[in-house]
Copies of this chain bind each other. A is one copy, B any other.
Amino acid sequence: MPKIIEISTSGRGFFNITRAIEREVAGDGLCHLFLQHTSASLVLTENASPEVPKDLETLIGRIAPDGDPAYRHDDEGPDDMAAHFRTLLAGHDLSIPLADGRLLLGTWQGIFLWEHRHNPHRRRIVITVLPEAT
């Protein structure tokens, strides 16, 4: 059975979960992370500068704005539809090569849970480790 972990977010923003994921995996192959939500993302991005997440927010906010007058779907508020489009663009899962229990990330790659809603949420991630062909 795959493993499921929960991550709490404090509202819109980037949460570096690289360590949390590393603790859960072992062996060799491919680590797959699947977010069971349509209003948050799992992404790899630059792990060093705190300014990169801020600029990513600015850029995605232009193409997926909160409270756009064209939205028909706003049951959960002005960030509801924006969050769905952000998730569609930025994705909801990651596949990362794994060797001897270590994720083969590049030097500057960090794993982030990107919360797209303004309110805090608990987000569920399904972790599956797949073996390599021998």
Contacts and interface: CB of A to CB of B under 8 A. Distances in A.
Interface in A45-62: 45-46, 49, 51-52, 54-56, 58-60, 62
A43 interface: yes
Given A29-B128, A129-B132, 13 more contacts: A1-B28, A34-B97, A38-B46, A46-B73, A52-B81, A52-B84, A55-B71, A59-B68, A63-B63, A88-B90, A91-B91, A97-B126, A130-B131
A58 B88 CA distance: 13
Nearest to A46: B38
A43 B131 contact: no
A93 interface: yes
Q: What is the interface of chain A mostly: helix, strand, loop, or mixed?
A: mixed
Number of copies: 3
Interface residues of A, number: 63
A85 B63 CA distance: 12
Contacts of A34: 95-97, 104
A68 B56 CA distance: 12
A89 interface: yes
Contact of A99 (B1, B45, B55, B132): B1
Contacts of A46: 38, 73, 84
